[in-house]
Structure 1
Amino acid sequence: MTRLTPETLLAELHKAADVVTRLVSTLDESSVAEPSVLPGWSRGHVLAHIAGISNAMARQLEFAQRGETIELYDGGPEGRTKAIELAAGHSLADHTESVGAALARALAVFDALAPGDWQARIAYRDGTVLDGGLALWRELVIHASDLGTGRGPETWSRPFCEHLVEFLTARVPEAYKFVLQPTGLPQMTIGSGGTSIAITGMLTDIAAWLAGREPSLGSLRATAAADGVELPDLLPWPAALPAPR
């Protein structure tokens, strides 16, 4: 799988932010209130979340530069949910301003990092600044597709899909091992259970399925011992909070 350097990740963050900014510019007032791809969320909810996670990750880095850590969101998960609900109904102008300002803040902090800063500790997943950058990349790319403006998972790059597959290995149930067979690309294996299931299809579709999104380029095929089977249920998305110690 592709290994991202901080320099490569920084370039990817700028690309993802540019995509979000461009998609926001295509919306009109009525479309902000229309449903997104995510059940129960309007496009306004998605935009509020993009602004929220961008500001939250910027804050992680700002505290890390002082040798401190702070929780991702004020008020924890409940604070995150409340902030999204409060901002979801804002006007297009307000969303455009808040998303633009949040992206600019986050990119400015990432751009200012020195080489050694990427390993500074942050509270998010009890990880590092690099982990925070990867998380923001995931959030921007996936939620750009969740806006439902025609830019679906089929636009996700190979490096992004390979990173997502690696990150979402945690969604493989303990009993299974998934042998991923992306069309035209090398095979990948995730999970270590005793039951092997081969999953064949486009890499973007495999990544979308693992991320809980609808594959967009064709149907995935799952087989076990040469027989066709249903795609298995996945475990929840990896928790953002570290396990208690």
Structure 2
Amino acid sequence: MTVMTPEKLLEELHRAADIVAGMTATLADPDIKAPSELPGWSRGHVLAHIAGISNAMARQLEYAARGETIELYDGGYEGRSQAIEMAAGHSAAEHRADVSAALARVLGAFDSLEGTGRSGPAGWQQPISFRGGVAFDGGLAIWRELVIHASDLGMGRGPETWNRPFCEHLFDFLSARVPEGQRFILQPLALPPVTIGSGAQSTAVGGMLTDIAAWLAGRTPTLGSLRATAAADGVDLPHLEPWPAAVAPAR
């Protein structure tokens, strides 16, 4: 498994932000209204969410720098949802401006932590309210948001474009989706297996690395069919628990 350091995470954050910004720059007004890969959401909804979570996480770090914590969204989950609905119908130009400003703000907040170690007393270890964690956890969250929602835009950057460190991070983070009493042996093609969950009932899930990660993330695998086996017999893909959410069940 790839060990994610603050330095590597910063590189991944900038790379993911560049991809989202580049995709947003190509959209015209009719494209904004088109359906995304998320049921019930247009691309405008996805872009509004990207801007909203980026600003929210930047605010987490800005308060943390002063030794304070603050809730992720003003008004909690309801406030988040209202803000997305209000902004979803904006023009392409408005979305570009909002996403650009939000990405610059959140990247600036994380860039200001550079030079401090993950185990240090400050910087990446500053407490934030998000999941009761620290700034490093917030960085991982924004990485997930940018990469996954870039795929949700439905513009040709599906899960097959997710790199190995990101997929391995999802294996770890989304182990919370393994039902109690079960464990999954993930068998990505040509890579070592990874076991998540600690129950007695075992199910093996094999396929391409990105397809397994997409399935765990609730997205559609794009490179081929996954296969699941239990006690050497073919079975259906196992049930997954809800996405681990900070403020309410996640999309």
TM-score range with shorter-chain normalisation? Answer: over 0.9
Quote the Cα distance in structure 1 between the aligned partners of 2:144 and 2:43: 18
Give the TM-score normalised by structure 2. Answer: 0.95
State whether residues 35 and 42 of structure 1, in contact with CA within 8 Å, keep that contact through their aligned partners in structure 2: yes
User: What does 1:4-23 correspond to in 2, within 5 Å?
Assistant: 4-23=4-23
Number of residue pairs matched by the alignment:
242
User: Residue in 1 aligned with 2:185?
Assistant: 179
Percentage identity across aligned positions?
70
User: What is the CA deviation profile of residues 134-181 of structure 1, one whole-angstrom value per residue up to 9, with x for unaligned ones?
Assistant: 000000000000000011000000000000110000000012110000
Quote the Cα distance in structure 2 between the aligned partners of 1:41 and 1:97: 20
- Structure 1 residue runs of 4 or more that deviate by more than 4 Å after TM superposition: none
Q: Secondary structure at the match of 2:66?
A: coil
User: What is the CA deviation profile of residues 168-219 of structure 1, one whole-angstrom value per residue up to 9, with x for unaligned ones?
Assistant: 0000001211000000100100001111000000010000000000000001
Quote the Cα distance in structure 1 between the aligned partners of 2:43 and 2:49: 10
> 169, 176, 191: which one pairs with 1:163?
169
User: What is the CA deviation profile of residues 20-53 of structure 1, one whole-angstrom value per residue up to 9, with x for unaligned ones?
Assistant: 0111122111011000000000000000000000
User: Residue in 2 aligned with 1:85?
Assistant: 85
TM superposition shift of 1:241: 4.4
State whether residues 126 and 241 of structure 1, in contact with CA within 8 Å, keep that contact through their aligned partners in structure 2: no
User: Residue in 2 aligned with 1:36?
Assistant: 36
Quote the Cα distance in structure 1 between the aligned partners of 2:182 and 2:223: 25
Quote the Cα distance in structure 2 between the aligned partners of 1:83 and 1:3: 35
TM superposition shift of 1:239: 2.2
User: Residue in 1 aligned with 2:111?
Assistant: 111
Q: Secondary structure at the match of 2:180?
A: coil
> 242, 246, 249: which one pairs with 1:236?
242
Q: Unaligned stretches of 5+ in structure 1?
A: none
Establish whether residue 136 from structure 1 lines up as the match of residue 158 from structure 2. no
